[in-house]
Amino acid sequence: MQLYADLQVLTARPDAAEEARAPHHLYGVADAEEAWSVGRWLRATADVLADIGARGRPAIVVGGTGLYFRALSRGLAEMPDIPGEARVIGETLWDEGGEVAVRAALAARDPEGAARIERGDRQRLMRALSVVQATSRSLSDWQADTTPLLGPDAWRGVVIEPDRAALYARCDARLAAMIESGALEEAAGLTARNLDPALPALKAVGVREFARHLAGDIPLETALAEAQQATRNYAKRQLTWFRNQTPDWPRVTALDPDAAWTEFRTAHP
């Protein structure tokens, strides 16, 4: 989400002072009207990493969306186009039997994918089922048939995983601070463009909640509380993903910057 120029406050993108401390790349480079995919991000990242590497400098890739790290380190399959009929079949199955029916259908043809996708993740379940129905090949197989951008010995990972209660408190405080920093104005400017609500930028946490307040549907206190809850929910999903997908990565649990740095240096001397 920090790709989008329209979302500086709502995504807590580094400000000018922070960006002045070190070179930053791929922040605010896309208009909200664009729909960047993982593939597009990966192609842009390849160019950035090549440039940094040519200058003999290390790169630090940061973010909370695990799929992007997976694409970097494991590769991203060039997926075929999925016809609408395959998606309709999945939607019909969901309407008739819910997640249980869709997961069972997926497990019959792609057991690895069904086991890997978290409960409640409708989007990925439907995607995996559509792929196997359209191509007679599992999404797991497609994803395995890739060459990663980063070789296994070219990078090291670390997960920032503080105490959950402390993390949630910081999430709540950050949302409150965003209002003081212009989040409402940012949401107003974005919604005034009347863009397709299906665009990724329009799905950023806070956009929908604050837009409802600006439309007069809910008071500001309610919008803030809903955005805070959505942020905590997202943080929880991130913690779950990294716990399941990167159990071997070292963890930094301290919130104090000096203590966190000490933990990091211990993990990566």
Non-local (6+) Cβ contacts of 17 within 8 A are none
Q: Is-contact 44 20, C-beta < 8 A?
A: no
Q: State how far the Cα of 45 lies from the Cα of 164, in Å rounded to an integer.
A: 31
In the chain, which residue ranges form alpha helices assigned H by DSSP?
16-19, 38-54, 66-74, 84-109, 111-116, 122-135, 139-144, 164-181, 183-191, 207-214, 220-245, 257-267
Rounded CA-CA distance 199/35 in Å is 6
Residue 132 and residue 142: Cα distance in Å, rounded? 10
What tens digit of pLDDT does each residue of 181-212 get? Answer: 999 999 999 999 999 988 999 999 999 999 99
C-beta atoms surrounding 211 within 10 Å: 19
Q: In the structure, what pLDDT confidence band is assigned to residue 144 with cuts at 50, 70 and 90?
A: low
Q: Which helix (H) or strand (E) holds 159?
A: strand 159-160
Report all structural domains of the chain as residue ranges with CATH numbers, in order of start: 5-36+156-264 (3.40.50.300), 84-144 (1.10.20.140)
pTM: 0.76
3-state secondary structure of 4: strand
pLDDT surpassing 90 at residue 151: no
d(CA 176, CA 160): 22
For the residues of 93-106, what is the DSSP string, one character each?
Answer: HHHHHHHHHHHHHH
pLDDT > 90: what percent of the chain?
A: 63
Q: At a CB cut-off of 8 Å and minimum separation 6, what does 113 contact?
A: 106, 128, 132, 138, 139, 140
Q: What is the pLDDT of residues 38-66, one digit of tens each?
A: 888 998 999 999 999 999 999 999 988 88
Average pLDDT, the chain: 90
What are the tokens at 159?
A: 């997960």
Output the DSSP codes for 65-128.
-HHHHHHHHH----PPPPPHHHHHHHHHHHHHHHHHHHHHHHHHH-HHHHHHSPTT-HHHHHHH
* Structure confidence at residue 79 (pLDDT): 66
Residue identified by tokens 């060459």 is 147
Q: Is-contact 67 74, C-beta < 8 A?
A: no
Gap between the Cα atoms of 116 and 245, Å rounded:
9
Tell me the backbone φ, ψ of residue 185, rounded to 5 degrees. Answer: -65, -40
Indicate if the pLDDT at residue 142 is higher than 80.
no
